[in-house]
Structure 1
Amino acid sequence: MKIQGKMFLWLSVFLLAMAIVYGVWSKEPVGTTALFLSFGLAIMLGYYLVFTARRVDTGAGDNKDADVADDAGELGFFSPHSWQPLALGAGSALAFMGVVFGWWLLLVALPVILVGLFGWTFEYYHGENQNQ
């Protein structure tokens, strides 16, 4: 995680320099703003990764002598089957299409998004996956 954090911090330095150079030479506000926002995103990610790397154990990615097998093992819990991301994705697609075709489509998308979000949040509180 340390290596990735340092990479993002160096990327943020590069993006800041390019944003300043681009802004001075082009005097174009949209590209300059995009570069400054990219700088902000890169510095946030870099800071988070460096800050988190100090608090967690060193992973195989930070060890120069590590093998691929050193990073094997359980990575966490992932839901084996869930239809809720599909509902949330469909609702989000409808919401973004509402920007194109008309704001009334958001009224159709909002219930689909809420059902997907509610279902995904509480899917382990009922049915066969209920924790006891």
Structure 2
Amino acid sequence: MKTEAILFAAVAAFFFVAGLGYAFWSKEPAGTAALAVSFLMSSLVSGFCALNHHKRGKRPEDHKEAEVRERYGSLGFFPPRSAYPPLTGLAVALTALGVVFGLWLFVIGAGLLVACVVGMVLESSGHAEAGQSSGPRSGPAVSSATWTRCSGETGRSTRSR
């Protein structure tokens, strides 16, 4: 995460310098505000990446000689079928249309958006605890045979389904 933190810090520095120059020469508040918000958002991402690097240390992909299998582990629970992603997209579209056409449509879209986001978060909340899985097998979301193919190792996988 250190590389990502440095990258986003450089982006934040660019937006800061560009924002100062834009504010000085243009005297236009909308562009200045947009550059200021861009600076703040990239600073936030940079700070998040730096904090994660400080807490967790280097990841396997930070090493030049790292292999794919070093990152192998539980990837989490991903529900196979869910109605929430398309409904969330519909709610975002309704909320955006509500900005254009009226408050009534915005309120309906915002209510639907909140319900969809809460539903999506709570849909898999019970699966994150104690390594539970609702699928036919427990363990990582990617089989070891997949990792064997990715890492270039030969031999058959001994993992049973």
TM-score range, shorter chain: 0.7 to 0.9
Match of residue 92 from structure 1: 92
CA distance in 2, matches of 1:6, 1:18: 18
Equivalence map 1:42-81=2 (5 Å): 42-67=42-67, 69-70=68-69, 72-74=71-73, 75-81=75-81
Structure 2: runs of 5+ lacking an equivalent: 127-133, 135-161
**In the TM superposition, what is the alpha-carbon distance from 1:86 to its structure 2 partner?**
1.7
Match of residue 10 from structure 2: 10
Match of residue 103 from structure 1: 103
Structure 1: runs of 5+ lacking an equivalent: none
Amino acid at match of 1:10: A
TM-score for the superposition, normalised by structure 1: 0.78
State the identity %.
30
For residue 23 of structure 2, give the secondary structure of its aligned residue in structure 1.
helix
The verdict on how the C-alpha distance between 1:83 and 1:40 changes in structure 2, with shifts beyond 3 A counting, is same
TM-score for the superposition, normalised by structure 2: 0.66
The verdict on how the C-alpha distance between 1:26 and 1:3 changes in structure 2, with shifts beyond 3 A counting, is same
**In the TM superposition, what is the alpha-carbon distance from 1:61 to its structure 2 partner?**
2.9
The verdict on how the C-alpha distance between 1:36 and 1:115 changes in structure 2, with shifts beyond 3 A counting, is closer
**In the TM superposition, what is the alpha-carbon distance from 1:83 to its structure 2 partner?**
0.7
Report the RMSD for the aligned CA atoms in angstroms.
2.5
**In the TM superposition, what is the alpha-carbon distance from 1:20 to its structure 2 partner?**
0.7
Equivalent pairs counted in the alignment come to 126
**In the TM superposition, what is the alpha-carbon distance from 1:100 to its structure 2 partner?**
0.9
